[in-house]
């Protein structure tokens, strides 16, 4: 038996036989695959899935995503960005400077995403860490949004809590990132190595040397990938690692992430 829902999720409007969820991951398969896994699980409960991605990713997504009707994959056109090949199909194997260009192209997809959401009228859209603009866009349409983080609670509480970056215009340094932020639970995790901290810098530093666009919400406030603005946030419970740090999914790491409530 399907779930009764509606396009704006508020109990009004036309009745539907299924709850309808849009999945909108970042274009790398390290992000796409967890969204596929979540989609397939939701499908097993009779929930309809519409999956957004760029055309080059679609054949590989088809091989794993349950496309039982009415599930569908919806291609997003990649807007022209200077320096970005029109044939780019994913973020796999892209150098860092091209990764930034693909992020710019993603930002320019807002009009087509808004059009699609207006047409589809899903109950909720699950988005990734890069679509900081998605929650207000969905809210404008009366659609709920949920940030599905493919990173663990440990990684999120170490990297993207506001205490990590109290000044939105002053990104943390590598030395800052080697140490846990204020409020981090007392555990055996006491820091990371220099090469790990260097890898994490891409989250915080924009091309102009200032704060990365991902850490600012639409009105310029310090944010964490849209979490304060969205309706819900979901954390993957991985057996993966942040470096070699992530071993479990303890509650105290979730507690530090509750400051937005």
Determine whether 132 is an active site residue: no
Instruction: Give the C-alpha distances (Å, rounded to integers) separating 226 from 27, 81, 166, 168, 187.
Output: 17, 24, 16, 14, 27
- Pairing status of strand 124-127 against strand 20-24: parallel
Q: Of 20, 31, 132, 212, which is the active-site residue?
A: 31
Q: Of 128, 132, 212, 217, which is the active-site residue?
A: 128
Determine whether 107 is an active site residue: no
Q: Of 214, 12, 251, which Cα lies nearest the Cα of 132?
A: 214
HSE, CB side, 13 Å, CA atoms: give it for residue 103. Answer: 20
Peptide bond into 62 cis (omega under 30): no
Instruction: Give the C-alpha distances (Å, rounded to integers) separating 30 from 25, 26, 132.
Output: 10, 9, 19
Q: Catalytic residues, which ones?
A: 31, 128
């Amino acid at each position: 038996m399907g779930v009764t829902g509606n396009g704006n999720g508020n109990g009004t409007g036309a009745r539907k036989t299924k709850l309808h969820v849009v999945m909108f991951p970042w274009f790398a398969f390290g992000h796409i695959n967890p969204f596929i896994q979540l989609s397939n699980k939701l499908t097993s409960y009779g929930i309809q899935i519409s999956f957004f991605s760029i055309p080059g990713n679609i054949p590989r997504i088809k091989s794993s995503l349950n496309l039982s009707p009415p599930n569908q994959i919806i291609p997003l056109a990649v807007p022209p960005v200077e320096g970005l090949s029109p044939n780019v199909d994913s973020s796999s194997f892209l150098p860092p400077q091209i990764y930034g260009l693909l992020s710019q192209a993603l930002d320019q997809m807002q009009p087509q995403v808004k059009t699609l959401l207006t047409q589809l009228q899903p109950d909720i859209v699950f988005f990734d860490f890069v679509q900081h603009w998605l929650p207000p866009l969905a809210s404008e349409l009366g659609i709920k949004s949920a940030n599905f983080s493919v990173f663990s609670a440990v990684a999120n509480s170490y990297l993207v809590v506001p205490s990590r970056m109290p000044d939105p215009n002053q990104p943390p340094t590598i030395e800052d990132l080697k140490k846990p932020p204020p409020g981090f639970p007392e555990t055996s995790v006491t820091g990371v190595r220099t090469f790990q901290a260097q890898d994490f810098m891409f989250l915080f530093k924009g091309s102009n040397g200032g704060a990365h666009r991902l850490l600012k919400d639409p009105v310029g406030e310090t944010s964490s990938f849209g979490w304060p603005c969205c309706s819900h946030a979901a954390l993957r419970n991985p057996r993966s690692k942040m470096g070699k740090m992530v071993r479990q999914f303890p509650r105290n790491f979730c507690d530090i992430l509750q400051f937005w409530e």
